[in-house]
Amino acid sequence: MIERIAGLPARPWEVGGWLLGYSDAEEGAIVVTHATPPSRGTPFSIRISGRHHRRYFDQAWSGSGGHVTFLGDWHTHPGSPPTPSERDEEAMRQIAVDPDFGEGPTLIAIAAAGRWRRPASVETRFYILEDDAPHRLRPRLIDRLPPPTDRVPAWPWPRG
């Protein structure tokens, strides 16, 4: 998932999608298993709605037997650092109280992408909403998806 986001072509506008996965109480971890393919925003914002992303969520939910669920969203900051803006923080707060998104953790992932050309490396940071503010997480990468999340179909992504 991180490689797909990092491999996106440079764009002068933000792109983004939903983060899907599950909470693992035994491990005390949040496992992000999937990111829906990007939809397009403007040069300085994006509205990530169910209109484009709900079908991917439905495929992940049914393919995993209800194991994979909504965790939050991901988006790019073209030409800017991967830190939450005030608008990002407000979006996290809205997701956290919206009953349509469940009661799990609220995450956001932000990638510092190139505006006109892709940088040599793209930094992606993850944040969780705690005490009404985003707190940076340290992701731990895994080599393969754990069952039953590995039964979710692969989705097409733009190529760099």
Fold classified for 2-137+144-151: Cytidine Deaminase; domain 2 (3.40.140)
Across 21-40, average pLDDT: 93
Provide, rounded to the nearest whole percent, the portion of the chain with pLDDT above 70. 99
pLDDT at position 143, please? 85
Where would I find the H helices in the chain? 2-6, 50-63, 86-97
Pick the more confident residue, 159 or 64.
64
d(CA 159, CA 8): 6
d(CA 111, CA 11): 12
**Where do the structural domains in the chain lie, given as residue ranges?**
2-137+144-151
